[in-house]
Every structure is written in structure tokens, then in C-alpha cells.
Structure 1
Amino acid sequence: MSTASEALARAADTARLAPSVHNTQPWRWVVRGDSLELYAVTDRQLREQDPAGRLMLLSCGAALHHARVALDAAGWTHTVRRPAGEPLAVVQAAAPGPADPAAMRRLQLLQVRRTDRRAVSDEPVAPEAVQAITAAATAGGARLHVLNRDQVLELAVMIEHAGDAERHDERMRAETASWVGGERPAGTGLPDAVIPVELPLTTVAERDFGVSGTLQAGTGHDTAAAYAVLYGDGDEPADWLRAGEALSEVWVAATDHGAAVLPLSSPIELDFTRQALRRMLGEVGYPFLVMRLGTTDPDHAGPAHTPRLPVEQVIEIVED
């Protein structure tokens, strides 16, 4: 039987697999006995695209969810405190027990999930899968609004405007270039293998990173895709951390139902498009992220996993 600190260190290691904006991995873990502390690393924050640190916190929330799933799978009961400020969260290990097969299945899903920028097929995501994914958002502490056709067209215009604004902003372009393709911090960023050779011709445009990757994205369109907005009642740091947990929960459900997920953060990065999204929601909540849900060609392998920072850069173990 492992000790609490060993279980927490393994959970933090699992959290290295979490998704993050531009694969910045803006988190750091400290293991102190039977507690695991989560901190944001502002050195890996996107200062131009995410000046308020919202997407950084969302990324940290996804990592927190990964760590919790790993503890569940190992049979460790635990509690979580989310203090205002730093650390963002403290996971307290309580007692070990037998491994939970359902939790082990969830962990396996997190280990295989990936961001898929390939074109989706003409087969829509099954209604029961969309229902399960929507329920997962609620279980994770947020909500998911699936867009109707008219709203998808509105979203397409928003993303076009966001893309134009960022392409005309020299500092934003330079920031993207530092994380995508070419030279970038070791273990982070988006390599050519996960970026399409060329952008597919879709109604809602994928993000143009300004580089040509090596991923064969296919010739499909997005007419069969479902688009959704992850949102919540608040706009405080704690709400964005919860949003990341909900995103990770959504990804578990999507992967379990064979749905590919593509997060679209560009309309969140600019105030005018984020406000337009909020109006689309009837101003009943604050948008955290847009995502595309679709099915991909099962006969073709998905993109490679993005690189990860080494353990020693993201996990510190403090001995008693």
C-alpha cells in the first residue's frame, strides 16, 4: 500500500496530461505529506491573448480534475479546498481503499484523450452522447449550451472577427509564434504534428496558427459537428478553475462516446467577442470556452499527443 505522499505525487504526474491553452501547462504542484497544492505559473501565461489569466486558470482546473481522477482510480478518498488566491487548490488525501473500476476507466479515458484538429466526418455525434456530454459539464460544476444552426452561423462570424483582430495584432502574432511550431520552450507548445497541413474549409474556422503543420486533416466539413459553449454563473478566478474541471469532465464523457473535441478559445480571448457570446447565452452566464464536438474517420490515426514538461519542472515534493 502506498503512502499518501506517493499517491499524491502519482496524481500530480497524471495531471501533466491535462489540456491547456496552446499546451502552455501553466501549473505547478507541491506535495506536502498528505496534501497536494496546486499553483499557477504565470511565466507560462499568455500575456497578450489571456491578460487576465482566465484561460490559465481554466488550464489549471483541468489539471486539478486529472489529479482527482487519478486518486479515485487508486482508491484514495480525498477532499479539495479552493482558497482565494494561492495555492489555487489543496487536495487532502484521506484514506486508501480498493481501486474503483469505474474510476480506473475514467483515468484510461483521460490518458488517451487528445485535442483533434482534423476535419470531422459526416456522421453527427449521437444525441445520447451529446446528452451525456452536457450532463458531464453540469457534474463538473459548469453548464454546456449546444448551439442551434443560427447560433453556429453567429459563432462563425465571431471567430472570423477574432481571427482578423489577432492577425492584425503584432504582439499576439509573436506570442502565438513562440508557442506553435519552430522554436519554443522544451516540453511545451504545439508541434507541427498536431497542426493541419492546411486549414479545412469549414463554416466555423479553425484557429490559424500562422504555420503549416504536418497533420493530414482530411477533406471533411463541419456540417455534422455540434458546437457548444461551456459557461457558468460567475466570472471570478474560482469560477474559471471550476470551468477547467468541468472541461476535463466533458472530455472524459466525449472520449467515452467516441466524440472528438476541439476547444476554440479565440472568441474568449477578446472582450468584444466574449460579450457577443454572453449575449448569445441570453446573458444568463459567463462563457468560458467554445468547443466543437464531432466524429472522425476511425480508419486514420489521430494526432500525436503534445509534449509535456518533465516531472521535476512541475512537481516538488517537500519532505517532512
Structure 2
Amino acid sequence: MYDDVLDLYADADRRLPDVDPHGRLMILSCGIALHHARVSLAAAGYEPAVDRMPDAGQPSLLARIRDRRARPATEERLAAYRSMRLRHTDRRLFADGMPVPDEVLTQLRVAAEAEGARLHPLQQQDVVYLGYAAQGAHTVGAHDARAAAELHRWTHRGADAPDGVPVGTVAGAADRPVPLRDFGLGDEAALPPGTGDDTDAVYLVVATVSDEPVDWLVAGEATSAVWLTATTQGLVGSPMSDVIEIPGARALVRSLLQPPGQPQLVLRFGLAQTAEPPVSPRRPASDTVTVTERRTIGEGV
């Protein structure tokens, strides 16, 4: 049967070739979309079965989802579905004096492991080295004219663009333990960073044992699971991909992992300030989903 099949394809035309030369982040983002699809199906009462990388002759076909059977949605699944609509990136400084509880970190780690990945919370002494990695990534990126041009296009998509990173979602300069990417905006970054200091932020490395495209996909699913769990616990966060994009920075992050693993993304979480920040636009479903006579084909972002 094909009527109940969802195929997920990577859209290579949307990859940033200089920022993401191997397609790691493109496939990871598709993994996030895959997990979101699974969460949506589960909330609707279905039990999705996933076949990852199902056809070696079609490398852009990343996953195939089938609905095996219906089952009542649990409150946990419904909460995950609701958090999909609430979660967003917050690059501002996090509130002071409000550390993330250990029991919440345990929930985040369990969420990642359920997806076949590992989640490594960095200890305070390791955060110092993550700061070095971020500073190094910023320096290298600033001297890569082609990558800088790609980021400029991505942050200047226009007010009506359905994607990109608007300047209003990028926090201005602030004194932080780990500097965040400014996307080359400098003084153009329009989001006030706030009054916190990020000393209570937690930095989590999403890692896998191997480093193949299927691992990048799984890392994306784990990232989604962690982020949705964090949202249900009242946390906000932002991804740090620059320390993965730059080989030297990634090697430094890899050296922090025990047990050893392959870092795929760094996540930063904490307690939000009171006001909601501006949100980045999201592409409408009509841009990414094509319904055919026999099956539904979804394109990754």
C-alpha cells in the first residue's frame, strides 16, 4: 500500500554550500522535520514506523514513514505536539539565578537517547573550552568571504520572506561565557540582549557514535526531541551550529565528549526573560508538502 506513506526528501537547492559543504546541517534539519512529523502522527492517534535511508539509489530520500496502526494519544504525546507550536529560538541572555534543574537535564538526556543519540551536558570547566571554540569559529567565519555572503543573504531575505534569520531575532553584542554567532550583522543585530548574563545557561552537545548521513538524520530527530521536551519544561534555547561547521572548533568540541562521540550540534538552554522575542518565519506546508495520487512526499528544509 502507498496511500499511507510519507517520503521525506532533502532539498539540495536550499543547502548553503559554503556554510554547510557536506550537507550535515541540511540533513540534521530534515531530521528535525522527521521527528516533528512523527510527533504529529502520534498526537493524531497513529503509530508511525520509520525506514531511514530506505533506497541507496536515491540519497536524497532520507526517510519513509508508514502508519502501522492507530492507538490513543497519550497526554505526553499531546504535550509534545503542543510544544511544537510554542518552541522558538531565543538568542537573548538567560535569566540570572535560575539554573536548569538536574531532573530536567535527565529528561533531556533520556529524550535524546530514545532517538538513538547521546546528549552531553558540558561541565563548567568545559564551557570555557566551548567559548574558545565559538570565538575561533567566529574568527574563521569572518575571514571566509563566501560563507559570509551566504549568511548575509540568509539574514536579509526581506520582510515578507517565509524563511531566513531576520535581524530582529539576532541578539546584539553582550558579555557571555560563550559568544553567540552574530551572522556577520554586527551593529545590525536588532534584538536587545537583555539584562541576564548566561551564567546559568546549560550547553548540551548532541552526539552520535558514527558520522554518516544517517547519523546526521538521527541527530536531528534527537535535537527535536530534546527541544520539545525542554519547551514542555519551560525552557528556551538556541542552537549553536557554528562550532560544528568549522573543523577546528568541532575538533575542540569533540575532545570534550566522554564517552567519545561525534558532535553534531550544540544546544544552549535556560530560563527566558519575561517578554517573548520576535520569531523567525516558517515556511507554509504548501511549500514543503506535495500530495500525489498514491503517496505524500515531504521535502526537508
Comparing 47-56 with 204-213, greater Cα deviation is found at 204-213
Give SS of 2:255's match: helix
Find the counterpart in structure 1 of residue 88 from structure 2. 114
Identity %: 40
1:256 aligns with 2:232: yes
Find the counterpart in structure 1 of residue 115 from structure 2. 140
Find the counterpart in structure 2 of residue 15 from structure 1. none
Find the counterpart in structure 2 of residue 312 from structure 1. 286
1:90 aligns with 2:60: no
| Contact 1:200/1:220 (8 A) holds in 2 | no
Aligned-residue RMSD, C-alpha: 1.8
| Contact 1:129/1:257 (8 A) holds in 2 | yes
Comparing 168-177 with 123-132, greater Cα deviation is found at 123-132
Q: C-alpha separation between the residues in 1 aligned to 2:219 and 2:278?
A: 25
Give SS of 2:61's match: coil
Give SS of 1:247's match: helix
| Contact 2:51/2:63 (8 A) holds in 1 | yes
**Deviation for aligned residue 1:111:** 1.2
Kindly provide the amino acid, as one letter, of the partner of residue 95 in structure 2: S
Listed as ranges, the gaps of 5+ residues in structure 2 are 295-301
**Deviation for aligned residue 1:97:** 4.1
1:148-174, Cα deviation, whole Å (9 max, x unpaired): 122111110111011000001111110
In the TM superposition, what are the counterparts of 1:119-130 in structure 2 within 5 Å? 119-122=93-96, 123-130=98-105
**Deviation for aligned residue 1:201:** 1.3
Find the counterpart in structure 1 of residue 297 from structure 2. none
| Contact 1:144/1:229 (8 A) holds in 2 | yes
Find the counterpart in structure 1 of residue 127 from structure 2. 152
| Contact 1:120/1:295 (8 A) holds in 2 | yes
The TM-score, its normalising length taken from structure 1, stands at 0.85
Give SS of 1:72's match: helix
In the TM superposition, what are the counterparts of 1:85-234 in structure 2 within 5 Å? 85-122=59-96, 123-181=98-156, 183=158, 186-196=161-171, 198-211=172-185, 212-234=188-210
1:75 aligns with 2:45: yes
| Contact 1:145/1:228 (8 A) holds in 2 | yes
Kindly provide the amino acid, as one letter, of the partner of residue 188 in structure 1: D
**Deviation for aligned residue 1:94:** 2.3
1:249-308, Cα deviation, whole Å (9 max, x unpaired): 0011111111111110111001111122212225721001111121122x32x2233212
Q: C-alpha separation between the residues in 1 aligned to 2:18 and 2:61?
A: 24
| Contact 2:157/2:163 (8 A) holds in 1 | no
1:201-237, Cα deviation, whole Å (9 max, x unpaired): 1010011122223323202111111112111101000
Selected match of 1:269 from 240, 245, 251: 245
Kindly provide the amino acid, as one letter, of the partner of residue 42 in structure 2: D
Q: C-alpha separation between the residues in 2 aligned to 1:136 and 1:269?
A: 24
**Deviation for aligned residue 1:191:** 1.4
Selected match of 1:66 from 26, 32, 36: 36
| Contact 2:8/2:62 (8 A) holds in 1 | yes
| Contact 1:178/1:184 (8 A) holds in 2 | no
| Contact 2:182/2:189 (8 A) holds in 1 | no
Q: C-alpha separation between the residues in 2 aligned to 1:246 and 1:106?
A: 13
Q: C-alpha separation between the residues in 1 aligned to 2:232 and 2:20?
A: 30
Find the counterpart in structure 2 of residue 243 from structure 1. 219
Find the counterpart in structure 2 of residue 8 from structure 1. none
Kindly provide the amino acid, as one letter, of the partner of residue 24 in structure 2: R
In the TM superposition, what are the counterparts of 1:35-54 in structure 2 within 5 Å? 35-54=5-24
CA spacing shift, 1:185–1:232, aligned 2, 3 Å: farther
Find the counterpart in structure 1 of residue 298 from structure 2. none
Give SS of 1:88's match: strand
Kindly provide the amino acid, as one letter, of the partner of residue 274 in structure 1: R
1:59-112, Cα deviation, whole Å (9 max, x unpaired): 000000000000000001221111242310000122334443321111001110
Kindly provide the amino acid, as one letter, of the partner of residue 190 in structure 1: V
Give SS of 2:197's match: coil
| Contact 1:140/1:247 (8 A) holds in 2 | no
Q: C-alpha separation between the residues in 2 aligned to 1:154 and 1:174?
A: 28
Q: C-alpha separation between the residues in 1 aligned to 2:65 and 2:268?
A: 31
